[in-house]
Amino acid sequence: MISGGGTGGHIFPAIAIANAVRDREATAEFLFVGAEGKMEMDKVPAAGFRIVGLPIRGFQRGSIVKNLALPWRLLRSMLKARALVREFKPHVAVGVGGYASGPLLAAAQRMGVPTIIQEQNSYPGRTNMHLAQRAHRICVAYAGMERFFPKDKILLTGNPVRSEVVRLAGKRPRGMEHFGLAEDRPVLFITGGSLGARGINRGVEAALPMWKEAGIQVIWQTGTPYLKQAQEAVGRLRYDGCKVHEFVNKMDMAYAVADLVVARAGAISVSELCLVQKPAILVPLPTAAEDHQTHNARALTDRGAAVLLRDADTMEKLGGLVTGMIRDEEALARLRLAIAGMGTPQAAEAIAAEVIRAARA
């Protein structure tokens, strides 16, 4: 059983782990457990795996009324998770983070099923720290995680990413054609993750006139909520060099053509940037639990491998920062050199080996 989701940063690593297990054990059976109404309920079946949803929800900041049902949802989720474990009888349960991961792993542990935690961030959430005490193995992406987890259970594997996303060799010409870009001007790729990023999007909109004048080409992934506003802003400026996308399905093509990337500092985004070795401006989500995105970003920025920009400063500073960096070949080269070697390839395969080992124990 594999549990978790809520964002692509949890879903796609889970799918990568499952595929790596299936590559080694062709007869393995899988059941994914997600949260009802979240994107995993579509993405996981599209990848060829069965999924069941729990009625779990996260805490809604700023709304007491919306949180009144949380205890009831948690209880129902725990009961359903226990029933699923009893019915499916897994040899091992894996948690990748997200709302459903806590109830499923807690139920599995109480029923004697070996559990593996895949902790993606450099600063874990409280649920994983609690579950770690009874976990069989904790696969982490950053060194120094013994501050949070039992040292003897930690395995440094890196974060699993979709292999096709980080294979860029020979893809730049196809990427330029795919996005309708010209070879003689720099390319900026903006991604706020699978759900978009309001702070980044607002900073981009404010910067569009400056970037148009500077001749910068832009691939702008907005997410669903900001799509219409972004399209209207680009249309008003007649900025033909700015390509607006609700969601970029060909991430490998976007990385292949990008001279500079602006992104949130989610664990998987950071891991992908390390593997593709792209210069980046990281804008951590300020409301992330335990401020873990800032911790993720600093793992790079403290080594000179990326540039950190606060979400609150995007409208004022993003335009000038990008304009100054994207044509500074020496600065971009320094960032590429610093980030080289920080990625961990074959992470999914390393985690899959632990999953199989735990299942056979």
- Please indicate, yes or no, whether residues 143 and 179 belong to a single structural domain of this protein: no
| 284 touches 297 (CB < 8 A) | yes
pLDDT tens digit sequence for 146-184: 999 999 999 999 999 888 899 999 999 999 999 999 999
Q: Which portions of the chain are predicted below pLDDT 50?
A: none
- CA 82, CA 106: separation in Å to the nearest integer? 9
Is 350:12 a contact under the CB 8 Å cutoff?
no
Q: Do 196 and 274 share a domain, yes or no?
A: yes
Neighbours of 304 (CB within 10 A): 12
Pair 99, 217 in one domain: no
Residue 84 and residue 31 in contact, taking contact as beta carbons nearer than 8 Å: yes
How does pLDDT run across 120-154, given as a tens digit for each residue?
998 898 889 999 999 999 999 988 999 999 999 99
Detail the DSSP E strand segments found in 77-182. Answer: 93-95, 115-119, 137-140, 154-156
Q: What is the pLDDT of residue 288?
A: 83
154 and 229 assigned to the same domain: no
DSSP labels for 249-308?
A: S-HHHHHHH-SEEEE---HHHHHHHHHHT--EEE---TTSGGGHHHHHHHHHHTTTSSEE
Predicted TM-score (pTM) of the model is 0.84
Identify residue 181 by its one-letter amino acid code.
L
Q: How far is CA 241 from CA 173, 317, 326, in A?
A: 17, 21, 15
pLDDT digits (tens, 9 = 90+) for 55-87: 987 666 556 666 677 788 889 999 999 999 999
Domain with 235 in it: what CATH number? Answer: 3.40.50.2000
- How many domains, the chain? 2
Residues 179 and 325 reside in one and the same domain: yes
Q: CA 86, CA 93: separation in Å to the nearest integer?
A: 12
What is the model's pLDDT at position 60? 61
DSSP reduced 3-state for 195: coil
What is the domain range of residue 93?
Answer: 2-159+345-360
Q: What Cα–Cα distance (Å) separates residue 228 from each residue in 18, 234, 246?
A: 36, 10, 9
